[in-house]
Copies of this chain bind each other. A is one copy, B any other.
Amino acid sequence: MRLFGGIESGGTKFVCTVGRDPNHIISDISFPTTNPEETIQKTIEFFTPYTKSNELTSVGIASFGPVDLNPDSKTYGFITTTPKVGWQQVDLYGAIQKALNVPIAFDTDVNAAAFGEKFWIPENQPLDPLIYITVGTGIGVGVIINGFPLHGLIHAEAGHIAIPHDWKADPFPGVCQFHGDCLEGLASGISMNKRWGQSPETLSDSHPAWDLEAKYIALALVNLIYAYSPKKIILGGGVSQHLGFHQSVRKNVIRINNGYVNSISLTEKIDDYISPPALGNRSGALGAIAMAKNLATKEE
């Protein structure tokens, strides 16, 4: 059987998947992200039976970043300036390609998730540009333009855009190592944890944290709407799953836009415009499978 592999390499855990499409997953596994040697070794071991049986056609890697996506670069497929200890300048693509010896597609975890939502969900296919924003431990943005993930100097790093920070209302200085109070610094799960002294999951529904968080995410979304003019925004990640969060973000987006971009997507149709991932928390893994399948199709 012709199979595709997906690797979602996250800062917390790796998810490895083998299958044909979202409805035909043969096997998957998840393990914590420890040091690169051990984690990559486990990944290779998971796929080895399928390379031995010659069923594994191609693999997609959906990696945390920043990563080098320039095919002409000596460090193509490397994780580069990540704050994650031990993972700077790690040749993730090379190590896996060498061991599995099949064609490998490589991209950021969020570009992969965006591509998965586009590739597997028919309703999303005409909605281009499409953006995927995850609000979890960190914040990341994946971007599909003209059918494929946006690459450039590197790739979108819009989790780190600057947004207005009202120091009087929120004196918390932010947690980003590079920028202090950028979007990720002010609104990631880690920042919520530090600001309120408890993890986001344990904050009650009436806690002021949620109102502040929705305002920050809405400020970011309006900036992304003004930048990409997307036809669809997928808002995922652990923090976004809090009850009523999407509703609250949408309300704030309408307030901040204030009628400037004049579209029903920003009024009566906003529930369709900003919505959770159709693939749930499988967007990344299934996006990696989509990348693998797309690569195999291109090479035929």
Other A-B pairs beyond A154-B263, A157-B229, 18, CB < 8 Å:
A66-B260, A81-B262, A129-B150, A141-B227, A151-B229, A152-B229, A153-B225, A153-B230, A153-B231, A153-B263, A157-B260, A157-B261, A159-B226, A161-B226, A162-B164, A162-B222, A178-B257, A223-B227
Q: Interface size bucket, A side?
A: 35 or more
| CB of A44 within 8 Å of the partner chain | no
Q: Give the Cβ gap from A131 to chain B, nearest Cβ, in Å.
A: 10
- Can you list 9 residue pairs at the A/B interface with Cβ under 8 Å? A146-B146, A150-B229, A152-B229, A152-B231, A153-B265, A156-B227, A162-B219, A179-B256, A179-B258
Whose C-beta in chain B lies nearest to the C-beta of A220?
Answer: B162
Q: How far is the CA of A257 from the CA of B265 in the complex (A)?
A: 33
Interfacial chain B residues near A228, Cβ < 8 Å? 150, 152, 156, 227
Q: How far is the CA of A3 from the CA of B265 in the complex (A)?
A: 40
Nearest CB of chain B from residue A15's CB, rounded to whole Å:
26
Q: Determine the chain B residues whose CB is within 8 A of the CB of A156 once the complex forms.
A: 226-229
Point out which of A128, A158, A256 has the most chain B C-beta atoms below 10 A from its C-beta. Answer: A158
- Whole-angstrom distance between the alpha carbons of A259 and B129 in the complex? 28
Copies of the protein in its oligomer: 2
For the complex, is A282 an interface residue (Cβ under 8 Å from B)?
A: no
A275 at the interface (CB under 8 A from B): no
Within 8 Å of chain B (Cβ to Cβ): is A40?
no
Provide the bound-state CA to CA distance between A49 and B257, in Å.
44
Nearest B residue (CB) for A155: B229
A262 x B227 contact (CB < 8 A): no
